[in-house]
Structure 1
Amino acid sequence: MVDPRKEPVSFDEIRADIEAKQRSIIWPDYLAATGRVYGFLWNGDPKAKIIPRAGLVLFGLHFFAGGIAFIAASIGGEPEDRFYPGAVIGSVFVLLALRMFRNALLFAPKPLKSEGEGEFQSDKS
């Protein structure tokens, strides 16, 4: 990124900086970016920071609430008002939400201590 406070910058450098920032809205770069997002939604990332995890939880809550609404519409009310395929649709939404919750809580495993690590060992020489 160009910092205009440090030194004079040419127009070409500013233009290159702006084009680099806007590349993610053009087709090939957009496709790569969305692939990473969908990969994070479906597979999770043990090294993800707290903000993507919080977003994933909110997205999962959206699916969970929608699924519960479909299930409630399929089992509640009068028989003529029920939407029976809603139970299947709602179940799929709830399962997707549970998958997202699992991915949000997926953390990297902590390394196991090897034998003798952290203990005082005498120098055998």
Structure 2
Amino acid sequence: MSNENGGNAIVRVSSNKRKFGYVDYTKHRLHEGYPEVTISALGTAIADAVSVVELLKSQGVVTVKKICTARAQFDDVRSTTTDKIEVTVTKSPDFDAIYEQQQKDREAAKASAATCEGNDE
């Protein structure tokens, strides 16, 4: 899903995986100390990459630093042109507080689900 590029993490979004997986992965990379994360996508996955960035922004955890678009030509069997987007995000000023609260909420939900499963038996 990602690799490091000069101290920054890259999240490559595809159109056949869950958007929230990319959202969580991006938040974890920022929490681990990466100064910025680049979310990139090709072709039909561009809309999903934009959705991932918008989800992160609506949660208040990132600010958009840079948006780059490009059109690349691939010389494989047939010459095809593919669009590309790269959105670089950084932590918002409130990232740490929001991230910790989300983690607490997630743990509480897991504990509640485990309690419900225990009562079903």
Same fold (TM over 0.5): no
Per the normalisation by structure 2, the TM-score is: 0.27
Q: Which has the higher helix share?
A: 1
Per the normalisation by structure 1, the TM-score is: 0.27
Q: Which has the higher strand share?
A: 2
